[in-house]
A and B are shown apart, each in its own frame.
Chain A
Amino acid sequence: EVQLVESGGGLVKPGGSLRLSCAASGFTFSSFTMNWVRQAPGKGLQWVSSISSSGSYIYYGDSVKGRFTISRDNSKNSLYLQINSLSAGDTAVYYCARDGRAARTEYFSDYWGQGTLVTVSS
């Protein structure tokens, strides 16, 4: 069974930093592109970042570029998101999501974790 379990969220002051983790199990982690997607309270989904299976290709949404860093450790079946210079606008549930694989289509997420809440407040 595929499982994605996020951790590392919490309350942080504006300007602060956090490192989110996602522990993966039930599949060959090193073979899949992974993503972070966030959801502000009462709002919609926003793609944050993606990292290829080997870590060679990394992409960020404009709102987090330069402040967030995605990484992975395939030996530990883990995905990470280092988030710096936090502001109130970064308050959200952060989801880890696995890229799906299917013939003739791509760029979708087939499994999601339960999310970890990041609250930025003084």
Chain B
Amino acid sequence: QSVLTQPPSVSGAPGQRVTISCTGSSSNIGAGYDVHWYQQLPGTAPKLLIYGNINRPSGVPDRFSGSKSGTSASLAITGLQAEDEADYYCQSYDSSLSGSRVFGGGTKLTVL
């Protein structure tokens, strides 16, 4: 059971928009800690996609965007492309456990 809750899977057709939710609690996202998102392509290491809720590292297309409100956050992907098919993870910090970074369980994005 992950501290942050994500839907196990989402899907969309090429060109469409999809969103992935990440729900936490008052000791992590709701406490004001930022949410970060990672993309993991099959057989590869995770890659930072969004940091500080809304920021994209250099090289990440602006088709990817993040938002945060209350105890939840969302990742939106517009103009879906076949190469976006991957697992996506949200991550935050939890104050109930010292030093504890927490991840969501991951969401598998399928491009139809």
Residues on A lying within 8 angstroms of B by beta carbon are: 35, 37, 44-47, 50, 57-62, 95, 97, 100, 102, 104-115
Q: Whole-angstrom distance between the alpha carbons of A111 and B99 in the complex?
A: 19
- Asked if B51 and A105 sit within 8 Å, CB to CB, the answer is yes
Stretch of B9-17, B70-78, B103-111 on the interface side: B103-111
A114 to B104, CA, bound (A): 21
A100 to B93, CA, bound (A): 14
A50 and B101 contact, CB distance less than 8 A: yes
Q: Is the CB of B102 within 8 A of A47?
A: yes
User: In the complex, what distance in Å separates the CA atom of A97 from the CA atom of B34?
Assistant: 18
Tally of contact residues, B, Cβ under 8 A: 31
B45 within 8 Å of A (CB atoms): yes
- Taking CB as reference atom, which chain B residue is nearest A112? B45
Do B34 and A45 touch (CB < 8 A)? no
In the complex, the answer to whether A110 meets B48 with C-beta atoms within 8 Å is yes
Question: How far does the Cβ of A77 sit from chain B's closest Cβ, in whole Å?
Answer: 19
* Min CB–CB distance A24 → chain B (angstroms): 15
In Å, the complex CA distance between A97 and B48 comes to: 11
Tell me the interface secondary structure of chain A in the complex: strand
Inter-chain contacts of A100 with B (CB < 8 A): 48, 51
B100:A59 contact, CB within 8 angstroms: yes
Closest Cβ neighbor of B34 among chain A residues = A105
With A and B bound together, what is the CA distance between A110 and B98 in angstroms? 21
Q: Evaluate contact between B34 and A108: CB separation under 8 angstroms.
A: yes
| Contact pattern, B 27-45, Cβ under 8 Å of A = 1, otherwise 0 | 0000001101010100011
Given A44-B106, A102-B55, A115-B45, 11 extra CB contacts under 8 A? A44-B105, A45-B91, A47-B102, A100-B48, A105-B51, A106-B93, A107-B93, A108-B48, A109-B46, A112-B46, A112-B47
Complex contact A50–B36 (CB within 8 A) = no
Report the bound CA distance from A112 to B91 in whole Å: 15
